[in-house]
């Protein structure tokens, strides 16, 4: 692909639409700071228009009244359309987010397609009607429940996995017949815009899927608070998630929050060092640590700390860190200058707190690194769980090694966190690993692996990592209302038990 700057517009009512203000925002490649795209800086007026369009589409029934078979057919076409556009989507995702092209080409696009396909498959299996199991109550009654769309949804997503996290919201929302307005992060809006066009071409009617681009503080906040929004699906920081929860509470809106984490990885004393070191890299270095469920508190038996850290460093030295568009690259850049600065600040905090750096600790410099935002994988050793850089989410390639003396202590440390998103256990003993997994207070636990998020299993957090679950059956439930319909089959009021009993038919 060439180096032209891609120009986008907002996607509202099935069409590209220039924003009200005419102002544009630059989207850059974090490897070299080159501007690769421009998107509109939407205004609150644009949000109003997008929501009117979503509301009108919803009320018209053009999508909300479709049968399950009709929706499944469109979602299946959308799945195929995503796969047909695989190369373009993967390329744009890597270019703007800093994720390696190797990963986006396989994992990210397949995940988006998987979310659509799985939502369609689960929708097809859901009973259209559930009949009350009790026999006629005090009077002959026909009593049953159905699921209905909630209405207009807002999907607000962060910059680390723009496509995947958008699909976690729009796939179940669409499957259940809702309309949605997506607001991607300002630095990575491009693939969500591309998906809007792809889905609309695949048969999602105009107005059902809209995308507005602009800063969270102005339009994200306005969108979440808007009376036309019935449900908010938010992924992002715990700080902003808390604000969204307040806004949702004010409007009694339905809300799903996927927030931050500081996930613990417990190495058991029977662990294989080669597996433990590879698992550590997978847990904290995937996407240079910019993953909400990253394993960034490494609990190691004290006597194994030196040997394990040596094995980890050995593997880090073999990684290729550089241009994310090169298929040989293992780790790309940090997504933004702001995030790089956050990482550097936390490394300084860790040093000031007395944790020792066993590897890294610096911004990468020289050659290609000078134009972009690159940071060395960094290992702090001899940390305690009370240190600020160990407790707070850094969102970068920084591992905090905490030595422990017995397993109960390790589990207590693992659970001593305001977060509860991911957790992991490394062991050669399946029974022990499973027992430890059950004692961790987190929404996911991985044993001898990490980051396995599947469209057919729920994903979400305990504690301040959020509430609600994305993916699979749980997500479809979170984007629908349940309605009980009850019909008294007594032919007339005079012979009705209820009217007679209450005296309303005299």
Q: Residue 438, exposed/middle/buried by CB under 10 A (0-12, 13-18, 19+)?
A: exposed
Interaxial angle between packed helices 190-201 and 162-175, expressed in degrees from 0 to 180 and rounded to the nearest 10? 30
236 binds ligand NAD (CB under 6 A): yes
376 binds ligand NAD (CB under 6 A): no
Indicate which single residue of 27, 224, 229, 440 sits in contact with ligand NAD (rule: CB under 6 A): 224
User: Checking DSSP bridges between strand 179-183 and strand 209-211, what pairing results, if any?
Assistant: parallel
Q: In terms of Cα–Cα distance, which of 240, 275, 243, 278 is closest to 259?
A: 240
Q: Which range binds ligand NAD by CB under 6 A, 232-240, 305-313, 352-360, 382-390? A: 232-240
Residue 376 bears catalytic tag = no
Q: Which range binds ligand NAD by CB under 6 A, 217-225, 326-334, 353-361, 433-441? A: 217-225
For ligand NAD, give the closer residue by CB, 323 or 393: 393
User: Checking DSSP bridges between strand 462-463 and strand 419-420, what pairing results, if any?
Assistant: antiparallel
For ligand NAD, give the closer residue by CB, 257 or 321: 257
Coil, strand or helix at 36: strand
Catalytic-role residue among 93, 194, 464, 470:
470
Q: Which range binds ligand NAD by CB under 6 A, 57-65, 78-86, 214-222, 431-439? A: 214-222
Residue 315 bears catalytic tag = no
Indicate which single residue of 240, 276, 343, 402 sits in contact with ligand NAD (rule: CB under 6 A): 240
Catalytic-role residue among 153, 292, 400, 426:
292
Catalytic-role residue among 169, 183, 231, 253:
169
CB-closest chain residue to ligand NAD: 216
289 binds ligand NAD (CB under 6 A): no
Residue 258 bears catalytic tag = yes
Interface with ligand NAD: number of residues (CB under 6 A): 32
Q: What are phi and psi of 446, to 5 degrees?
A: -110, 140
Q: What is the CA radius of gyration of the chain?
A: 25
Indicate which single residue of 43, 105, 213, 243 sits in contact with ligand NAD (rule: CB under 6 A): 243
**Rounded CA gap, 215 and 448, in Å?**
39
Q: Which range binds ligand NAD by CB under 6 A, 89-97, 219-227, 304-312, 426-434? A: 219-227
Indicate which single residue of 235, 277, 442, 496 sits in contact with ligand NAD (rule: CB under 6 A): 235
Residue 171 burial (CB count, 10 A): 30
Indicate which single residue of 220, 301, 372, 468 sits in contact with ligand NAD (rule: CB under 6 A): 220
CB 453 within 8 A of CB 460: no
The 3-state secondary structure of 160-176 reads CCHHHHHHHHHHHHHHC
CB 455 within 8 A of CB 471: yes
350 binds ligand NAD (CB under 6 A): no
Helix (H) or strand (E) run with residue 497 in it:
helix 497-502
Distances (CA, A) of 101 to 84, 184, 293, 451: 17, 20, 21, 18
Contacts with ligand NAD in 139-178 (CB under 6 A)?
156-160, 165
Conformational region of residue 449, where left means phi above 0, alpha means psi within -120 to 50, and beta covers everything else: beta
Indicate which single residue of 221, 277, 305, 444 sits in contact with ligand NAD (rule: CB under 6 A): 221
Q: Which range binds ligand NAD by CB under 6 A, 58-66, 105-113, 229-237, 475-483? A: 229-237
Catalytic-role residue among 93, 194, 258, 376:
258
Coil, strand or helix at 234: strand
259 binds ligand NAD (CB under 6 A): yes
258 binds ligand NAD (CB under 6 A): yes
372 binds ligand NAD (CB under 6 A): no
Torsion of CA 338, 340, 345, 346, to 10 degrees: 120
Q: In terms of Cα–Cα distance, which of 392, 464, 455 is closest to 421?
A: 464
Name the residues that contact ligand NAD, by CB under 6 A.
156-160, 165, 183-186, 216-217, 220-221, 224, 235-237, 240, 243-244, 258-261, 292, 393, 395, 421, 461, 465-466
Catalytic residues: 169, 258, 292, 470
């Amino acid at each position: 692909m060439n180096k032209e700057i891609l120009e986008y517009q907002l996607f509202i009512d099935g069409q590209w639409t220039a924003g009200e203000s005419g102002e544009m925002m630059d989207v850059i490649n974090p490897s070299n700071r080159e501007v690769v795209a421009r998107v509109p800086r939407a205004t609150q007026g644009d949000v109003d228009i997008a929501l009117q369009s979503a509301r009108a589409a919803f009320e018209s029934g053009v999508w909300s009244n479709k049968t399950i078979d009709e929706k499944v057919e469109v979602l299946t076409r959308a799945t195929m359309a995503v796969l047909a556009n695989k190369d373009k989507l993967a390329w744009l995702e890597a270019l703007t987010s800093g994720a390696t092209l190797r990963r986006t080409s396989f994992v990210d696009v397949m995940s988006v397609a998987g979310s659509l396909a799985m939502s369609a498959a689960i929708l097809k299996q859901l009973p259209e009607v559930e009949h009350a199991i009790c026999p006629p109550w005090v009077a002959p009654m026909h009593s049953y429940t159905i699921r209905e769309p909630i209405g207009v949804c807002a999907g607000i997503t962060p910059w680390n996995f723009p496509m995947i996290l958008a699909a976690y919201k729009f796939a179940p929302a669409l499957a259940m017949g809702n309309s949605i307005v997506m607001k991607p992060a300002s630095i990575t809006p491009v693939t969500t815009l591309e998906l809007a066009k792809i889905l609309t071409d695949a048969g999602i009617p105009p107005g059902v899927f809209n995308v507005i681009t602009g800063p969270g503080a102005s339009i994200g906040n306005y969108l979440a608070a808007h009376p036309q929004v019935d449900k908010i699906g938010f992924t992002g920081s715990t700080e902003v998630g808390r604000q969204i929860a307040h806004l949702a509470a004010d409007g009694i809106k339905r809300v799903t929050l996927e927030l931050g984490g500081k996930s613990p990885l417990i190495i058991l004393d029977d662990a294989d060092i080669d597996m433990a070191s590879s698992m550590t890299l997978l847990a904290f270095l995937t996407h240079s640590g910019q993953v909400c469920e990253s394993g960034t508190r490494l609990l190691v038996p004290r006597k194994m700390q030196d040997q394990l850290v040596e094995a980890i460093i050995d593997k880090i030295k073999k990684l290729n860190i550089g241009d994310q568009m090169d298929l040989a690259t293992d780790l790309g850049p940090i997504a933004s200058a702001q995030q790089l600065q956050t990482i550097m600040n936390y490394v300084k905090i860790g040093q000031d707190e007395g944790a020792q750096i066993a590897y890294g600790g610096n911004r990468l410099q020289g050659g290609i690194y000078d134009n972009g935002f690159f940071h060395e994988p960094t290992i702090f050793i001899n940390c305690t769980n009370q240190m600020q850089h160990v407790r707070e989410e850094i969102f970068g390639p920084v591992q905090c090694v905490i030595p422990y003396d017995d397993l109960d202590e390790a589990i207590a440390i693992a659970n001593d966190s305001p977060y509860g998103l991911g957790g992991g256990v490394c062991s050669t003993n399946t029974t022990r690993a499973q027992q430890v997994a059950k004692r961790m207070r987190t929404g996911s636990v991985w044993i001898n692996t990490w980051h396995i998020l599947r469209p057919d299993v729920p994903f979400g957090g305990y504690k301040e990592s959020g509430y609600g679950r994305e993916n699979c059956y749980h997500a479809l439930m979170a984007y629908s209302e349940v309605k009980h319909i009850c019909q008294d089959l007594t032919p007339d009021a005079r012979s009705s038990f209820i009217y007679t009993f209450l005296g309303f038919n005299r």
